[in-house]
Amino acid sequence: MAGSAARQLALNALQRWRKSREFADSIVQRLILGSEQSRSDRGFAQELFYGVLRNLTLLDFFIGQLRDSAIDDLSRDLLRLGLYQLFELRTPVHAAVFETVELASPHRRSLINGIMRNAVRERDRLRSNAAKTPLHIRESHPEFLVRRWREAFGENCADAICRWNNKPAPIYARINTLRIRPEDFLKNNPTACPISAHPFFVEYEGLPEAAIARGDCYIQDPSTALAVDLLEAQPGEMVLDACAAPGGKTLYLAAITKNTASIVACDRDAARLKLLRQNLSHLGAIQIEVIQHDWLDERYPAAVRPKQFDKILVDAPCTNTGVMRRRVDVRWRLKPADFQQMHGQQLRIVAAVIPLLRPGGMLVYSTCSLECEENEELVKHLAHQVPTLKIQQTRTILPWRDHFDGAFATRFVLTG
Ligand SMILES: C[S@@+](CC[C@H](N)C(=O)[O-])C[C@H]1O[C@@H](n2cnc3c(N)ncnc32)[C@H](O)[C@@H]1O
């Protein structure tokens, strides 16, 4: 039956995710998109895999309602896949049951068959029970995260964030003005839909493979422009992009300065820097020196000197809570201690680059997190620690308010 290969791929991906520390995105790249299966099977497998991860607690709630004794991990993964199709994808009942049973090894088939058939019979009762569960169960998020968001943003926003995170993300692309003018891009790409929030961004229904292959656009959410726009880099300036890989913001910096700024793009991760180099060359960004360096190291890289830069962007590593609809398994990796630990790391990175900024120069600190330890508290802490660093402006994008990925950016000016 159609889709059997996709279901097997999704099951393999789920097992790999459960057994390893590998991120879901990387599993999709290697195991699903890199497989020999047809394009539609790969697409369906990805939808199943991400869908199960988005609905994990809810699916386990259903399993708990359908069976009160213990269940082995593989049977649980099979049932998660089957119940996801039944409850969320609205796959025809026969296909959802038959295909899930087919995936099971012979000695598991009667168990899986019994539970799936029971789920079909009890569908309405299960749905109504699920609707009465607390938010963290019915929207499948760790309870501590929901509690944090409730305390920080209130009940309605916590609810809205969880629902936002469970919706598949739209595809946005930035028009690469180094290669093509926006008006010509729109003429050549009639399926690209301009968005009112930003003149260089468009929305697509599917991946614009030809435009990507030509280097005419780069896939990124409009929220990624926030920090770069706030930096206001000018032609001819010296700019440090301190945490640059894989280069989404470096590319935009090169585009708005029309390749005339001298940009140093730095990152500690060699594999991500390789991707950054490929992206720069593919999209026609030049005058960019790429260096590998860890800002937590005591010594500075030879390629930079004190007070060298007019502008510095620190797009810091963060907990990614603003981009959870794209990074679907981030919620299952986070621990309550991560926010404070991340705060310490972010502070050390910014403190390390400040001596490289010239007096009067500007530094933008940004994250794609929603958490105050990594955002408001961090910039306050920094301004207190370095009195010559003055906060000029802060901008935020909140998914439930602005309908894009979450982003935070503060611009400082160095006064002495
Ligand atoms: C949010 S990502 C950057 C995304 C990038 N600005 C873009 O727009 O494509 C943060 C980056 O910081 C890098 N990073 C983390 N800790 C670092 C450190 N101590 N020194 C240098 N780079 C670091 C990570 O490897 C990661 O690529």
Q: Is residue 188 part of a domain?
A: no
Asked which of 84, 114, 135 is the last residue of a domain, the reply is 135
Residue 368 annotated as catalytic = yes
pLDDT tens figures, 325-365: 999 999 999 999 999 999 999 999 999 999 999 999 999 99
Give residue 416's pLDDT: 81
Instruction: Tell me the CATH number at 406.
Output: 3.40.50.150
CB 202 within 8 A of CB 221: no
Judgement on whether residues 254 and 386 belong to the same structural domain of the protein: yes
Asked which of 135, 157, 187 is the last residue of a domain, the reply is 135
Q: Of all protein residues, whose CA lies closest to atom 25 belonging to ligand 1?
A: 269
Q: How far is the CA of 28 from the centre of ligand 1 (A)?
A: 22
pLDDT tens figures, 102-135: 999 999 999 999 999 999 999 999 999 999 999 9
Q: How far apart are CA 88 and CA 67, in angstroms?
A: 20
Strands of 193-195's sheet in order across: 193-195, 198-204, 171-175, 217-219
Ligand 1 atom nearest 367 alpha carbon? 1
Q: How far is the CA of 155 from the centre of ligand 1 (A)?
A: 32
Q: Is residue 183 part of a domain?
A: no
Give the mean pLDDT of 211-237: 97
pLDDT at 386 over 60: yes
pLDDT at 1 over 60: no
pLDDT at 293 over 70: yes
Whether the pTM exceeds 0.85: the reply is: yes
267 burial level (CB within 10 Å; 0-12, 13-18, 19+): buried
Which residue among the candidates 162, 266, 318, 368 is catalytic per the annotation? 368
Instruction: Tell me the CATH number at 31.
Output: 1.10.940.10
Give residue 21's pLDDT: 86
Those residues whose C-beta lies under 8 Å from the C-beta of residue 216, and which sit 6 or more positions away, are 175, 176, 179, 180, 185, 188, 189
Closest Cα to residue 131, out of 214, 66, 58, 210? 58
Residues touching ligand 1 (Cβ under 6 Å) are 224, 243-249, 267-269, 272, 294-296, 315, 317, 349
What pLDDT band is residue 3 in, cutting at 50, 70 and 90? confident
Q: Is residue 145 part of a domain?
A: no
Judgement on whether residues 383 and 236 belong to the same structural domain of the protein: yes
196 burial level (CB within 10 Å; 0-12, 13-18, 19+): exposed
pLDDT at 24 over 90: yes
Q: Is residue 365 part of a domain?
A: yes
Question: Whole domain around residue 14: which residue ranges?
Answer: 4-135
Ligand 1 atom nearest 345 alpha carbon? 19
Closest Cα to residue 302, out of 288, 317, 291, 315? 291
Give the mean pLDDT of 265-270: 98
Give residue 332's pLDDT: 97
Give the mean pLDDT of 292-298: 96
Give residue 401's pLDDT: 94
Asked which of 112, 135, 158 is the last residue of a domain, the reply is 135
Distance of CA 196 to the CA centre of its chain: 22
Q: How far apart are CA 21 and CA 37, in angstroms?
A: 25
pLDDT tens figures, 176-192: 999 999 999 999 999 99
What pLDDT band is residue 90 in, cutting at 50, 70 and 90? confident
Compute the radius of gyration of the chain from its Cα atoms: 24
Strand partners, 413: 362, 390
Q: Of all protein residues, whose CA lies closest to atom 20 belonging to ligand 1?
A: 294
pLDDT tens figures, 77-86: 999 999 999 9
**How many Cβ atoms from other residues are within 10 Å of residue 297's Cβ?**
10
pLDDT tens figures, 159-168: 999 999 999 8
Q: How far is the CA of 14 from the centre of ligand 1 (A)?
A: 27
Closest Cα to residue 147, out of 403, 371, 379? 371
Ligand 1 atom nearest 245 alpha carbon? 27
Give the mean pLDDT of 205-210: 94
Ligand 1 atom nearest 246 alpha carbon? 9
pLDDT at 2 over 80: no
